[in-house]
């Protein structure tokens, strides 16, 4: 429990409106987007300046109080769920200023609570481009994106959040300010701490500022949609596109059940018999885009696509892309609980992974829909279930075990972009090694001797 005196101290520092202690308020910070049991924190604080943020961290460290940093709370692995009822949640949405967008040197400096989509829009207004586009970008924050190394649809060509983090400032567990990286493309001053803070899930420090790389926007883009009767053909088409030295900015995949469910809902006349649909977009210089689109179309036809659609304009593309946009919303409407996984395999293993997913669904008598980023092997096998049905939910948990086993066997990974949090911590060793767990724990203990930063997340401390 936090003492009355401590509450008063924080109120004096941050103002009463930025210190939440009522049960109703606390309960609204007990969950995130992961399907996990909520934990109600002891207090929630919202610093409005980075100086205040540092003072909060130091105070909590001095008092030995555990802390969990929270942006929008859209985490899918439980990273922002408090570790215990003694935890203090530190909100970053009071730190939401874009400090600089530099059009000459192609970088931006932001506070951690800046919303990803707002940032991307501000950058676009300066005719520049910030590519990472996680599904939650309308609300997710840059701090959360860094801590989870958020991906999105553009991963294959443009990379993920880690590819855009040039520099970082953060407070370590004791409240000391750490700065690493720079506004320059090259910087080898000291350890590469931005690299360490990416996907650290709030376990190594509290981010206070980030320098992000920006790129020139593509001048043109073209979209294509292909329908396949055989999964294998779709997978070979994906491999064929890469082999033709075309790197699409988007290469998305929908499985049969997702197509059927979306068609049920939208009545858009999708190919209900198709084994898979691919949605592809190439971008870049107009001439290159023409060449790439033609090459992609050739590869699709050569790999027995039963249908290839080339939208003529933005409106037509918007319509064809609806199937992808509606995939998760539609699947989420089918049943009360939606468990969205992100097991990822090397692209060439997608047919094997899809075969295994379908077998797992049959074996555990569960409905699944799978869609995702075929270009980078990052699938989203989605379980449609009802968490209140204990028998069914147990089967979901067993199915997830088997899903991860399969992903690891296929030389893939537990998580492409959702993080480990508490949801996947138990499988960490299986994918990595005992030594990896020990190394990570020793690293944490050295940096956070009291074990206060998101203690139960990742490998535990």
Comparing CB distances to other proteins, the nearer of 280 and 384 is: 384
Cβ atoms of 173 and 452 within 8 Å: the answer is: yes
Least Å distance between CB 52 and other proteins? 15
Among 97, 298, 304, 333, binds other proteins (CB under 8 A): 333
Comparing CB distances to other proteins, the nearer of 33 and 209 is: 33
Residue 337 burial (C-beta neighbours within 10 Å; 0-12, 13-18, 19+): middle
Strand-pair category, 107-110 with 206-213:
antiparallel
Residue carrying structure tokens 């270009």: 375
282: phi then psi, degrees, rounded to nearest 5: -115, 145
Comparing CB distances to other proteins, the nearer of 29 and 427 is: 29
Least Å distance between CB 289 and other proteins? 30
Q: Is 121 in the site for other proteins (CB under 8 A)?
A: no
Taking CB under 8 A as the binding criterion, the range among 23-31, 295-303, 406-414, 433-441 that sits at the site for other proteins is: 23-31
Taking CB under 8 A as the binding criterion, the range among 213-221, 306-314, 385-393, 428-436 that sits at the site for other proteins is: 385-393
Determine what percent of the chain falls in helix, strand and coil, rounding each to the nearest 5: 40, 20, 40
Closest CA to 214 of 149, 301, 119: 119
Cβ atoms of 309 and 281 within 8 Å: the answer is: no
Q: How many residues bind other proteins (CB under 8 A)?
A: 35
Among 182, 337, 358, 441, binds other proteins (CB under 8 A): 337
Which two structure tokens, joined as six digits, stand for 177? 């300010």
How many Cα atoms within 13 Å fall on the side-chain side of residue 458?
22
H or E stretch covering 152: none
Among 54, 94, 372, 451, binds other proteins (CB under 8 A): 94
Mapped onto helix, strand or coil, the DSSP state of residue 303 is coil
Least Å distance between CB 38 and other proteins? 8
Comparing CB distances to other proteins, the nearer of 183 and 333 is: 333
Mapped onto helix, strand or coil, the DSSP state of residue 349 is helix
Cβ atoms of 161 and 254 within 8 Å: the answer is: no
Among 177, 308, 332, 443, binds other proteins (CB under 8 A): 332
Q: Is 73 in the site for other proteins (CB under 8 A)?
A: yes
Least Å distance between CB 434 and other proteins? 34
Taking CB under 8 A as the binding criterion, the range among 152-160, 214-222, 307-315, 336-344 that sits at the site for other proteins is: 336-344
Taking CB under 8 A as the binding criterion, the range among 15-23, 150-158, 361-369, 389-397 that sits at the site for other proteins is: 15-23
Q: Is 139 in the site for other proteins (CB under 8 A)?
A: yes
Query: What gap in Å lies between CA 41 and CA 63, rounded to an integer?
Result: 16
Among 77, 87, 93, 180, binds other proteins (CB under 8 A): 93
Q: Is 188 in the site for other proteins (CB under 8 A)?
A: no
Among 68, 77, 136, 440, binds other proteins (CB under 8 A): 136
Q: Is 20 in the site for other proteins (CB under 8 A)?
A: yes
Taking CB under 8 A as the binding criterion, the range among 71-79, 392-400, 406-414, 441-449 that sits at the site for other proteins is: 71-79
Among 338, 406, 422, 454, binds other proteins (CB under 8 A): 338
Query: What gap in Å lies between CA 458 and CA 425, rounded to an integer?
Result: 5
Least Å distance between CB 219 and other proteins? 25
| Cα–Cα–Cα angle for 80, 211, 250, rounded to 5 degrees | 75
Q: Is 387 in the site for other proteins (CB under 8 A)?
A: yes
Residues 6+ apart with CB under 8 A from 195: 162, 165
Taking CB under 8 A as the binding criterion, the range among 72-80, 346-354, 409-417, 418-426 that sits at the site for other proteins is: 72-80
Q: Is 30 in the site for other proteins (CB under 8 A)?
A: yes
Taking CB under 8 A as the binding criterion, the range among 1-9, 66-74, 166-174, 188-196 that sits at the site for other proteins is: 66-74
| Cα–Cα–Cα angle for 207, 209, 215, rounded to 5 degrees | 120
Query: What gap in Å lies between CA 436 and CA 381, rounded to an integer?
Result: 27
Query: What gap in Å lies between CA 413 and CA 18, rounded to an integer?
Result: 39
Query: What gap in Å lies between CA 255 and CA 241, rounded to an integer?
Result: 19
Q: Which residues of this chain interact with other proteins, rule CB under 8 A?
A: 20, 22-25, 27-33, 38, 46, 72-74, 91, 93-94, 115, 117, 136, 138-139, 328-329, 332-333, 336-338, 386-388
């Amino acid at each position: 429990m936090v003492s009355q005196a401590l509450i008063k101290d924080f109120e004096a520092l941050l103002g009463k409106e930025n210190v939440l202690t009522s049960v109703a308020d606390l309960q609204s910070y007990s969950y995130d987007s992961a399907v996990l049991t909520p934990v109600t924190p002891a207090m929630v604080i919202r610093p409005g300046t980075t100086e205040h943020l540092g003072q909060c961290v130091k105070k909590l460290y001095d008092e030995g109080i555990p802390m969990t940093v929270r942006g929008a709370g859209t985490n899918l692995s439980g990273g922002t769920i408090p570790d215990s009822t003694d935890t203090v949640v530190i909100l970053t949405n009071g730190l939401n200023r874009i400090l600089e967008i530099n059009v000459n040197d192609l970088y931006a400096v932001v506070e951690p609570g800046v919303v990803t989509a707002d940032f991307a829009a501000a950058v676009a207004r300066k005719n520049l481009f910030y590519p990472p586009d996680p599904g939650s970008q309308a609300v997710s924050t840059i701090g959360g994106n860094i801590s989870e190394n958020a991906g999105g649809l553009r991963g294959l060509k443009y990379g993920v959040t880690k590819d855009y983090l040039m520099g970082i400032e953060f407070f370590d567990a004791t409240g000391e300010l750490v700065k690493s990286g720079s506004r320059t493309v090259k910087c080898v001053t000291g350890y590469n701490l931005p690299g360490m803070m990416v996907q650290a899930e709030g376990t190594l420090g509290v981010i206070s500022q980030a320098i992000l790389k920006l790129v020139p926007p593509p001048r043109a883009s073209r979209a294509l949609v292909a329908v396949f009767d055989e999964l294998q053909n779709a997978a070979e088409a994906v491999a064929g596109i890469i082999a033709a030295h075309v790197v699409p900015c988007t290469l998305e995949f929908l499985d049969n059940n997702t197509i059927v469910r979306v068609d049920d809902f939208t009545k858009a006349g999708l190919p209900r018999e198709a084994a898979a649909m691919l949605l592809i977009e190439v971008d870049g210089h107009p001439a290159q885009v023409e060449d790439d689109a033609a090459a992609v179309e050739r590869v699709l036809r050569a790999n027995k696509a039963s249908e290839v659609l080339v939208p003529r304009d933005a409106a037509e593309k918007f319509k064809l892309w609806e199937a992808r946009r509606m995939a998760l919303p539609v699947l989420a409407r089918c049943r009360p609980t939606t468990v969205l996984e992100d097991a990822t395999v090397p692209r060439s293993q997608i047919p094997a992974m899809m075969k295994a997913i379908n077998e797992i669904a049959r074996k555990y008598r569960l409905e699944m829909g799978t869609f995702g980023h075929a270009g980078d092997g990052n699938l989203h096998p989605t379980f449609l279930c009802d968490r209140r049905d204990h028998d069914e939910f147990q089967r979901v948990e067993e199915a997830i075990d088997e899903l991860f086993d399969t992903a690891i066997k296929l030389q893939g990974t537990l998580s492409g972009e959702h993080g480990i949090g508490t949801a996947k911590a138990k499988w960490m060793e299986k994918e990595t090694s005992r030594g990896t767990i020990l190394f990570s724990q020793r690293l944490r203990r050295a940096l956070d001797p009291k074990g206060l930063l998101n203690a139960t997340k990742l490998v535990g401390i």
